[in-house]
Amino acid sequence: MKILQLCKKIPIPPKDGEGVAVLALANGYLAHGAAIDLLSFNTKKHLIEEHDFRNYKHSYNNIISVYLDNSINYFAAFVNLFGFKSYNIQRFINKDFEHKLLDKITSTRYDFIQLESLYMAPYLDIIKSNTDAIVVMRSHNLEYQIWQDMSIHSKNIFLKWYYSLCAKRLKNYELDCIDRFDLVMPISKEDYFTYQNILEEKKLLLIPVGIDLSKYKTTYSNNSNNLKIGYLGSLDWMPNIEGLLWFFKTVWPQVIAKSNNIEFHLAGRNPVQEIKEIKAQKYIFHGEIDSAKDFLSSLDIVIVPLFSGSGIRVKILESMAMSKPVISTPKGFEGITVKNGVEADIVTSAQDFVDQILMYNVNSSKIEMVGANAKAFIEKNFEEKALARRVLNKFESLLNKD
């Protein structure tokens, strides 16, 4: 079986949840005997040097990258206000990518072409016109839902209106093209249920992010005097920014007022100015780090204050795979059906956050207990090869049908 993956940014080495999710399926496909090629944008915002992804151990036979400057052009965004198209989508339309895609699908016969996100949908016409491959979309999240949530939570009247416009146009675009896919694979149950209102059941397959547990070792912080809590994520993604600013405004001051032996460690790439300007006691900012696993292993507890977005939080899965208790909101645990207080902690208010952090500070045995339950939960529900096998079984049924 030959598969071509199309990505909006280079997933190797994996620097965020999307990269982990893309590679997990590719690794699983290879483990079951499939051959995979990758055609991806290498964006200015998330630029990866060629030697970095060429030398990284991966599962692809061939990797083709196309540079894309998808920076926001404020003049183009302003002009777009007077039209009807989604500016979010237009930023990923590129002639060079079209040419590389056309060359690839006309020179190689693929059984499946897997588009990693809605932002690859502008290339549906080229694919459908030049190949009989089965076309799949992996939906990492409902793109419009992210903007819709940001509109709801924004206090700025103009931004509230603009985010709502972005959400409306993205939703309309997805509704217009979604039925052209032969299969749609959402990664969270919540997104799957939304797609059920749009598509026939036979066109849907729920596939969460796979985790290779052999790569995630159980580790504990070496500092017995201080409780180390922290967060790791993209620091230019609006839902993450929103959640962190809320946390440092409403939660962290209460925590340090009641205990002087708790530290907060923050890491992530591309921090916006608001994140850089955070000032707080017992707070250490690491910026972009070389190893996500090393950073997570140094923590006792992982905090994920999230109120908007869609899809599944891969960093929560990775933290749980390393036996780390995770404290997050219901939004953070979408697609991750943990037992509250057993496999993780679901909180709904600032006071809940404070109480859970302080509870772990005085009850260290609970850290190991919840951490062990978390790891067992990941092993049962998110094993990489088992999920890839489920996808390939579906692919084979589609091939046999044709």
CA distance 26 to 204: 19
For range 325-339, the mean pLDDT: 94
Q: Same structural domain for residues 222 and 152?
A: no
pLDDT tens per residue, range 241-272 = 999 999 999 999 999 999 999 999 999 988 99
Q: Same structural domain for residues 374 and 388?
A: no
Strands (E), 134-240: 134-139, 183-186, 227-232
Look up the CATH number of the domain holding residue 395. Answer: 3.40.50.2000
Number of structural domains in the chain: 2
151: phi then psi, degrees, rounded to nearest 5: -65, -40
Inter-CA distances, 314 with 16, 117, 271, Å: 8, 16, 19
Helices (H), 178-214: 189-196
Q: Determine contact, residues 328/347, Cβ cutoff 8 Å.
A: yes
pLDDT reported for residue 152: 86
pLDDT reported for residue 224: 65
pLDDT tens per residue, range 180-210 = 999 999 998 888 999 999 999 999 999 999 9
* Per-chain mean pLDDT for the chain: 92
If DSSP codes are grouped into helix, strand and coil, which group holds residue 37? strand
Q: At what angle do helices 143-153 and 157-177 cross, to 10 degrees?
A: 160
Q: Same structural domain for residues 38 and 153?
A: yes
Q: Same structural domain for residues 191 and 219?
A: no
Instruction: For the chain, give the percent of residues with pLDDT over 90.
Output: 74
Nearest alpha carbon to residue 68 among 8, 112, 4, 2: 8
Q: Same structural domain for residues 157 and 242?
A: no
Q: Same structural domain for residues 42 and 175?
A: yes
- The residue among 292 and 370 whose pLDDT is bigger is 370
Domain that holds residue 392: 2-210+383-401
Q: Same structural domain for residues 127 and 272?
A: no
Task: Please report which confidence band the pLDDT of residue 217 belongs to, taking 50, 70 and 90 as the band edges.
Answer: confident
CA distance 325 to 359: 12
Nearest alpha carbon to residue 111 among 401, 397, 395: 395
Q: Same structural domain for residues 197 and 241?
A: no
Q: Same structural domain for residues 137 and 253?
A: no
Q: Same structural domain for residues 285 and 186?
A: no
pLDDT tens per residue, range 28-78 = 999 999 999 999 999 988 888 888 887 888 899 999 999 999 888 888 888
Q: Same structural domain for residues 130 and 164?
A: yes
Q: Determine contact, residues 18/140, Cβ cutoff 8 Å.
A: yes
Note the Cα 164 to chain centre separation in Å.
22
Q: Same structural domain for residues 117 and 204?
A: yes
Beta bridge partner(s), residue 115: 6, 137
